DNA sequence: CTAATAATTGTCCCATGGGTCAACATTTGA
DNA sequence: TCAAATGTTGACCCATGGGACAATTATTAG
């Protein structure tokens, strides 16, 4: 089954190319031709491997999400205490490779499509559910039960807000600022030790 | 100068129509024809009053922003104490007419264009600057000086994150949830009294 | 070696939508 | 009342981009 292999390689290349073009061009500007060129192929090949534009970007979103998920997993595995698990989740979301204006902009472009693209909405839903569940599993040991949901929402909203802001390329927002913002929240919202 | 008046009326109608179409269709789907139809006019008239699509949506963003600003001003005028001023700013951002999935979705669509639309970027910058300045003027009386910037960023990020989430139409996020999330933040981050 | 299968390309088609324009309608001011 | 200015329309143009497809070139398995 070499065939499967080559098609999988091609599909991955195209997914990545799609996400990279998205970073610079936004959804409207990310044409099939640009994606193809960026992947070093022809437009035809894109539609050979993906039924249509939506499907391509759906897979691009899946892949980007998978990378983030993986980063969280790696850090979670290293974490020993609930507190460390919490920090692992947060720090993964602010790794340099993710927390970049262009990357956040790509995410923004995808998010803007969510209301009209059921497939993207599904992915979004999964992302949120995983985030929530990860956070709750750490928070449950750190907070009274009735506070967990609130703080989980607080953390995700803060992360989203900081990502959004970076996506807008408002200068002056650095990774460090963002991370210390998160730490500030934790410091004040979660009882010491 | 009646003439100015009628053109102003038409321009306002078109700005509003543009924003409303944006709510349902997103940026790509918001064609000049749909905007015109929604305003009960022909496509030609849109380009008679606005040089091009970008300019139309730039003005739509300006108007939506002006409405939000106005809501903040009204509430700020009623506020007596710094704490009330802080709450005024926050509550204005969660008024029913603004904090709606469709409205947040329209904002999201505009934000996604910011990196490639310098005019939108400028507006965005103004919005952030005003928000920051409003918040700081209230926070300065409530917090040690070195904490003000941090908390101002925390509040705006939280607001943005909640708006984003509503824009994604993730069910289960209500105005009440959002507001109590904000209150929870204030309660823990700003010393009582 | 060869037939079948998959990969890849370039061309073509067509709907869409932004933008132009000339013509027509209405308002306004003198 | 009537011309000048403004409002308004619909028809037209054209670039763009998504998608279909037939033709061509590897690959692979028997």
List, for residues B73-90, the tens digit of each pLDDT value.
Answer: 999 999 999 999 999 999
- Give the nucleotide nearest to B27 (CA→C1'): C17
Compute the mean pLDDT over every residue in chain B, rounded to the nearest whole number: 96
Percent of chain B with pLDDT over 70: 97
Each residue's pLDDT tens digit, B156-193: 999 999 999 999 988 889 999 999 999 999 999 999 86
Crossing angle (nearest 10°) for helices B2-29 and B53-78:
100
Q: Taking each helix axis from N to C terminus, what angle separates B145-167 and A145-167, rounded to the nearest 10 degrees?
A: 90
Distance CA B193, CA A125 (A): 39
Chain A partners within 8 Å of B158 (Cβ)? 154, 157-158, 161
Question: Does the pLDDT of residue A156 top 70, yes or no?
Answer: yes
The model's confidence at residue A169, banded by pLDDT at 50, 70 and 90, is: confident
Which residues on B lie below 8 Å from A105 (Cβ)? 112, 115
Q: How far apart are CA B184 and CA A153, in angstroms?
A: 11
Please tell me if residue B29 touches chain A, with a CB cutoff of 8 Å.
yes
Q: How far apart are CA B1 and CA B18, in angstroms?
A: 26
CA B119 – CA A116 distance, rounded (Å): 26
Using the CB atom, is residue A145 less than 7 Å from strand D? no
Q: pTM, whole model, 2 decimals?
A: 0.96
Cross-chain Cβ contact A168/B121 below 8 Å: yes
Mutate to test the interface with A, among B110, B120, B164, B174 (most CBs of A within 10 A): B164
Does residue A181 sit at the B interface (CB-CB below 8 Å)?
Answer: yes
> What is the rounded CA–CA span in Å between residue B94 and residue B100?
9
**Mean pLDDT over each residue of chain A, to the nearest integer:** 96
A123 Cβ partners below 8 Å, 6+ apart? A58, A61, A62, A65
A42 CB-to-strand C distance under 7 Å = yes
A33 touches strand D (CB under 7 A): yes
Residue B137 clears pLDDT 90, i.e. is over it: yes
State whether residue B116 sits within 8 Å of chain A by CB. yes
Q: Does B168 touch chain A (CB under 8 A)?
A: yes
Residue B65 has pLDDT above 60, yes or no: yes
Give the pLDDT mean for A167-184: 94
Strand D nucleotides with an atom less than 7 Å from a protein beta carbon? 5-11, 16-22, 27-29
pLDDT, one tens digit per residue, over A33-70 is 999 999 999 999 999 999 999 999 999 999 999 999 99
Kindly report, residue by residue over A71-102, the tens digit of the pLDDT.
999 999 999 999 999 999 999 999 999 999 99
């Amino acid at each position: 089954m070499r065939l499967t292999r080559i098609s999988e390689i091609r599909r991955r290349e195209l997914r990545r190319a799609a996400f990279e073009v998205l970073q610079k061009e936004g959804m409207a500007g990310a044409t099939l031709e640009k994606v193809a060129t960026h992947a070093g192929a022809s437009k035809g090949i894109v539609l050979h491997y993906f039924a249509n534009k939506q499907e391509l970007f759906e897979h691009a979103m899946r892949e980007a999400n998978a990378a983030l998920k993986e980063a969280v997993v790696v850090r979670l595995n290293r974490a020993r205490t609930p507190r460390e698990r919490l920090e692992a989740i947060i720090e993964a979301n602010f790794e340099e490779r993710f927390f970049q204006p262009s990357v956040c902009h790509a995410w923004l472009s995808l998010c803007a499509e969510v209301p009209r693209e059921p497939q993207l909405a599904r992915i979004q839903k999964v992302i949120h559910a995983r985030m929530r569940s990860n956070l709750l599993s750490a928070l449950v040991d750190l907070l009274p039960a009735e506070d967990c949901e609130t703080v989980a929402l607080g953390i995700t909203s803060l992360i989203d807000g900081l990502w959004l802001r970076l996506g807008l390329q408002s200068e002056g927002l650095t990774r460090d600022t963002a991370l210390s913002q998160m730490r500030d929240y934790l410091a004040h919202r979660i009882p010491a030790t």
